[in-house]
Amino acid sequence: MKTGETQLDKDIRKVQETVRDVKHSLVEKILALPDNPNIDRIAGKSGVMGFTTMSSNLGNNWTPEYYDFKKQHEILAVLVNKKEIFDVLPALRKIIETGKHRQPDQRTITFHPDVIEQLKGIIE
Distance of CA 92 to the CA centre of its chain: 9
| 3-class DSSP assignment, residue 26 | helix
Cα–Cα distance for residue pair 30/24, rounded to 1 Å: 10
Provide the residue ranges of all domains of the chain, joining segments of one domain with +: 7-123
DSSP string, 41-98: EEEETTEEEEEE--GGG--S---HHHH-HHHHHHHHHHHHHHS-HHHHHHHHHHHHHH
Residue 54, pLDDT > 80, answer: yes
Cα–Cα distance for residue pair 31/74, rounded to 1 Å: 7
Using one digit for the tens of pLDDT, what is the confidence trace for 12-52?
999 999 999 999 999 999 999 999 999 998 887 676 678 88
